[in-house]
Structure 1
Amino acid sequence: MITSVESLIEELIAVGTDIVARGLALASGGNLSARIDDDTFVVTGSGTWLDRLTPADFSVMSLSGQVLDGSQHPSSEWKLHQRSYLVRPDVNAVVHVHPQHAVLLNALGHEVRLITLDHAYYVRSVGATPYYPNGSDELAASAAEQAERHDCVIMGHHGCSALGDSVSMAFRRALNLEEAATATYRALLLGDTDTTFPADALSALHHA
C-alpha cells in the first residue's frame, strides 16, 4: 500500500475509535471508507469492530468491485460505499454508522429536523430509504440514489451514511446528523412538532 493509502487508513482508524466512544455504533456495526483515486477506495473489512481497527482490517477495492489489496473480505456493505462514489465524484469518504436517535425517528415516521446552525451547515438535508437487507443491491442502489441529492442518508431500520470531501467532513456530518436527531427527539418530547432552522437562512447557507 502506498503512503497516501496508509494515511487514509490512519484517519479511518482514528474516526472508528471516536464513533464507538460516542455511541454511534456498537460491536461490529458500521463501516468506513475513503476514496484513494478515481478508480479505487479503501473500506473496512467484514466483521471488524470500529474501535479495534488495524491496517490489516482494510480492503483496497476498485470501483468495479474487485479486491485489489489488503483484507480479502471487505465489509458486506462495500457496495453501499462503491455506488455512492460512482454517483458523487465530489465525495472522498463515506461514514456508515448506526445512530440510535436518527434511526428511531425515521422508523417512527418523523423527519430529522435541522435546528441549529451546525445542523444546517453540515447536514444540509437528509435523504431516506426504505428497509433493505444489509449488503443488498437494493440497499446500495437506493442509498446511492438519495446520495445524488443529500450528504446524509438514513436507511430504514438500519443506519445512516454521511458523505464528505474528506474523512473529517463525512464524520462531522455523521455527528451533526445524530445531534439533529437527538434535538428533534427532545423537541417532540416537549410537544414541539415544527421548529426548524429558518428556511431563508438555510437557503442562504446553501448558496453562499
Structure 2
Amino acid sequence: MITDKHFAEFITQAQRVGKERLQLCSSGNISWRVEEDLALISGTGSWLPRITENKIAACRISDGMPVQGVKPSMESSFHLGVLRTRKDVNVVLHFQSQYATVVSCMKDKPTNFNVIAEVPCYCGREISIVDYHRPGSPELAKAVTTALTNNDTALLSKHGQVVCGKDFDDAFQKAVFFELACQIIVNAGAGNYLTLTEQEVDDLDKYILGKTSK
C-alpha cells in the first residue's frame, strides 16, 4: 500500500536531483520500488526539483500498468525493465548533468572512466555505453534494461545517463561521482588524463570494498 509517507519521501528525493544539479526542467525522471511489484515514478513532463504529489505515478513493475496517479514518465519502460531485471536495486535515476551529457555527445567517447577511485568503487568498474534511440521508444527501453543488467551506470549517446541503486543515496552517489569523472575528462581534454590501472582497481576491491574482482 502506498502511503503519504511514501509520497513525501519520493518528493524529497526527487527534489535532490535539482539540488545536486543533475538535470534541467523536465529532462530527468526517477523511480522507486516501494513494494515487490509496485513502484512510484515521476509523471510525464514533471520537473523533479519542484514535483508535487499530483505529478507522481504508481505502476505495477511486472506489467507496467498504472494503478494510481498520473501518466508515468515516457521513460517508465526502462525504469520498470531495470526494476524487473535487477531485484537487488530499488531506485532508477535518469538524469542529464552537464559534463556527463557533454561526454554522451562526443564522437569518440572514453572507454575507461576510472579517473578517480570513486568511479570503480561506486559507479562500477565498467560504464555501459548505449547507442542513440529515440527517447521513450521501446528500443531505448530494451537497450537500457540490457545495459544495466550487469552494470549500474549507463551513458546514453546524445541523450543522458541512467544509474540504479539499492536506495536513493546509492543512486545519487553514483550519479554525482559519474558527473565528477566526466568533468575531469572534459576539462583535461582528449588523451590528457590518467585512469586507474587494473591492479589499482583490484586493490580498491580488496582493501576498500572487501571483495575480490571478477
Deviation per CA, 1:39-89: give whole Å up to 9, x if none. Answer: 111100011111111122111101201001122x11111001011112111
Structure 2: which 5+ runs fail to align?
none
Structure 1: which 5+ runs fail to align? Answer: none
Give the superposition deviation at 1:13.
2.0
SS of match in other structure, 2:30: strand
TM-score of the superposed pair, with normalisation by structure 1: 0.90
Is the contact made by 2:100 and 2:179 (CA closer than 8 Å) also made in structure 1?
Answer: yes
1: CA distance between counterparts of 2:140 and 2:204? 30
**Counterpart in the other structure of 1:199:** 198
Check 1:205–1:80 CA distance in 2 against 1; reply closer, same or farther (3 A cut). Answer: same
Q: Describe the SS at the equivalent of 1:133.
A: coil
Aligned residue in 2 for 1:187: 188
TM-score (norm 2): 0.87
Give RMSD over aligned pairs.
Answer: 1.8
Q: How far apart, in 1, do the equivalents of 2:34 and 2:20 lie?
A: 27
Q: Which amino acid aligns with 1:150?
A: N
1: CA distance, partners of 2:74 / 2:100? 22
Aligned residues: 203
What's 2:161 paired with?
Answer: 160
What's the secondary structure of 2:175's corresponding residue? Answer: helix
Alignment partner of 2:38 out of 34, 37, 40: 40
Is this contact kept in 2: 1:129–1:146, CA < 8 A? yes
2:88 equivalent among 67, 87, 90: 90
Question: 1:32 & 1:80 partners in 2: Cα distance?
Answer: 11
5 Å matches for 1:4-83? 6-63=4-61, 64-71=63-70, 73-83=71-81
Instruction: State the distance in 1 between where 2:189 and 2:136 align.
Output: 33
Cα displacement (A) at 1:8: 4.1
Q: Distance in 2 between matches of 1:37 and 1:203?
A: 35
Identity %: 26
Native 8 Å contact 2:104 2:159 kept in 1: no
C-alpha separation between the residues in 2 aligned to 1:16 and 1:36?
Answer: 15
Q: Using the alignment, how far apart are the partners of 1:44 and 1:79 within structure 2?
A: 12
Q: What are the superposed Cα offsets for residues 103-148 of structure 1, whole Å, 9 maximum, x if unpaired?
A: 2223212226222222221111211111111111100100111101
